[in-house]
Amino acid sequence: MLNFHERMFVKAMYREQMANLHGDAFEDFFHRLMSARYSDFVQVRTHGNIGDLGADGLRLHNGRLYACYAPEVFDATKAGGKFANDLAKAIRKRSGEFGTFVFVYNDARGLHPEVSRLLAQARVEHSRLEFEPMGPQHLLRKLFELVRHEIEDLLRAPILVEEVVYGVGLEDLTPLLQHLMEHRRRADGQAAPREVSALKMDYNRLGEDDRTMLRIGMRHTHLIEQYYQGIADVTERDEVAADFNAYYGQIADEYDESEQVLAELRKYVAGNQRGTSATEIAWWVVVAYFFETCDIFREPPARMGADQHRTCFRMIVPTKGIAPQRSLLAVGAQILQTLDRPMTVSQAWTTLRQWRRDHGHHAPVPFWWFVLALDSLHAIGVVELREELLVTRRVDAAAAQRV
């Protein structure tokens, strides 16, 4: 039985190998995996002028027939032709040998809509048969059903995992953040970030392994706030978040599985190299931070149904998801307390951060949250901008003006 970190290591190796498995190489991997998993699996290889009779594999006990399609570049038309040809040939040449036709593919993005349509159409036209797709995620689950030495034999590599220490610092995070800044993808706009509810992980269908690593990463997200507070450009965090959000939007449209989306995000943050355990955890800290601030992954609707928990996206007052010292009400009060003279926005931001440090308020308050608090104060008429300087207004004067 593999432990958690060994499973994560195997997943990484599997993804790397799967990305380079096409044609005969993919079919060979599929044969070895199924042969290791099922004693009744029969490999079917092309032979002379009779071909493969519409099958790349058969299971004798449950009547499953497998047809593989694994091109280097996916082509919907060719995939449809392959599916139709293999199905027709199997029905003609192997009648009575199978009851389920399984279409095996290597595209990590998921099943192409055209192939989904063909599967649905085949179910209607051949009501006596069952039809199933089998992609990289299905194969990974079968891989984890094997014992350790079988997995190592299949991947042709030992499972080597260093001892993991959950301790990271800015020296681990800085290179990853620097990589983000140097590989920006500009976006035209960005939705206002909001606090994350635990329901978000359910809504995005994150697996247990990824949930565990996100929780580990979230323990250290304050280090990223510390990183951004230490740089001169107060808009840097928001620009990086916008780019990260734009890239997430691209890959979320391309991949169906959240696990694959996370794998692509990892490449965006850290490139293709696999680093030390500390570096891997640092990567999860970066992802957890942007997950927490709602820059990546979809937010659940305000209501998931009458029997579902309400999301806790309240920002003005403290909630279970927002610490009292981080609520907009508290931050607004702190701004008023420190705005004892006219200041520029940058001066007010610097003064607030210093005040919070001096008074032991360590809950992260990024620049965009500070701006939201300023907007709230302006909305109730106690702060205004005069000649590019923030100034406070007397409460009775603000109230009189509203009347």
Q: Which CATH number covers residue 353?
A: 1.10.10
- Residue 149 structure tokens: 């030495």
In angstroms, the CA 217 to CA 178 distance is 18
**Gap between the Cα atoms of 281 and 72, Å rounded:** 32
Is residue 139 a part of any domain in this protein? yes
Q: Indicate whether 84 and 196 sit together in one domain.
A: no
Tokens of 118: 């063909």
**Most confident stretch, 6-10, 148-152, 255-259, 286-290:** 148-152
Q: Is residue 245 part of a domain?
A: yes
Report whether pLDDT(110) > 90: no
Asked, for residue 163, whether it belongs to a domain, the answer is no
166-186 average pLDDT score: 49
* Predicted local distance difference test score (pLDDT) of residue 53: 58
Residue closest to 115 by CA, chosen among 95, 134, 138: 134
Which one of 128-132, 318-322, 324-328 scores highest in mean pLDDT?
Answer: 128-132
Task: Tell me whether residue 161 is in a domain.
Answer: no
Question: Residue 229's pLDDT is what?
Answer: 67
Domain boundary among 292, 313, 346: 292
Check residue 309 and give its pLDDT. 38
Is 160 within the bounds of a domain?
Answer: no
pLDDT for res 3: 72
Calculate mean pLDDT across residues 196-204: 74
Which pLDDT belongs to residue 33? 96
Whether residue 181 is contained in a domain is answered as yes
Same-domain status, 138 and 30: yes
Predicted confidence at residue 245, as pLDDT, reads 79
Query: Between the CA of residue 383 and those of 336, 344, 346, what are the distances in Å?
Result: 8, 12, 15
Lowest mean pLDDT among 122-136, 223-237, 381-395: 223-237
Determine the pLDDT at residue 180: 44
Q: For residues 384 and 340, is the Cβ–Cβ distance under 8 A?
A: no
For residue 269, being part of any structural domain is answered with: yes
Work out whether the CA dihedral 140, 142, 146, 149 comes out positive or negative.
negative
From 116, 132, 155, give the residue that closes a domain: 155
According to DSSP, the β-strands at 41-43 and 64-69 are unpaired
In this predicted structure, what is the pLDDT of residue 183?
Answer: 44
**Between residues 148 and 213, the one the model is more confident about:** 148
Residue where a domain stops, chosen among 155, 181, 213: 155
Domain membership flag for residue 51: yes
Say which amino acid occupies 330: A
d(CA 261, CA 268): 11
How confident is the model at residue 363, as a pLDDT? 66
Expressed as residue numbers, the domain containing 227 is 170-292
Residue identified by tokens 């014992």 is 147
Strand, helix or coil for residue 105:
strand
- pLDDT-based confidence at residue 233 (cuts at 50, 70, 90): low
**Number of folded domains in the chain?**
3
The SS3 assignment for 345 reads: helix
Min mean pLDDT across 21-30, 94-103, 233-242 is at 233-242
- Which has the higher per-residue pLDDT, 181 or 64? 64
| Per-residue pLDDT, 193 | 37
- Is the pLDDT confidence value at 184 over 50? no
